[in-house]
Structure 1
Amino acid sequence: MRVREFEHIAEVIAGRINKVPGVLETETHIAFRAYSRHDLDAAFSIGFETAD
């Protein structure tokens, strides 16, 4: 699920998902930003020349 505001996570998890019959537990993983493969490669290859 996605929420517009970080504070809404607790409302959705505790107030809605945990009340669904059959849901025994949940795990919450939070990502604040998503980066493209190109951006990640550029960020982690700083100072290294490509072998091309």
Structure 2
Amino acid sequence: MIHYRRILELADEGLSIRAIAGNLRPGRPKVREVIELAKDKDLICPLSEEMDDR
């Protein structure tokens, strides 16, 4: 399972894509994709509690 919320939280904390991928194991391309999609949709941390990994 990919933890989208956690990826965005770690990116907001300033971790590199490599560090996030090593921490959560989804792979660098997927981490990059999640971060780029969040930017395109103007999602910023902290995320609302209603937002989950779905």
TM over 0.5: no
Select the structure of larger CA radius of gyration. 1
Structure richer in helix, relative to its length? 2
Q: Which has the higher contact order (CA 8 A, sep 6+)?
A: 2
TM-score, normalising length: structure 1? 0.29
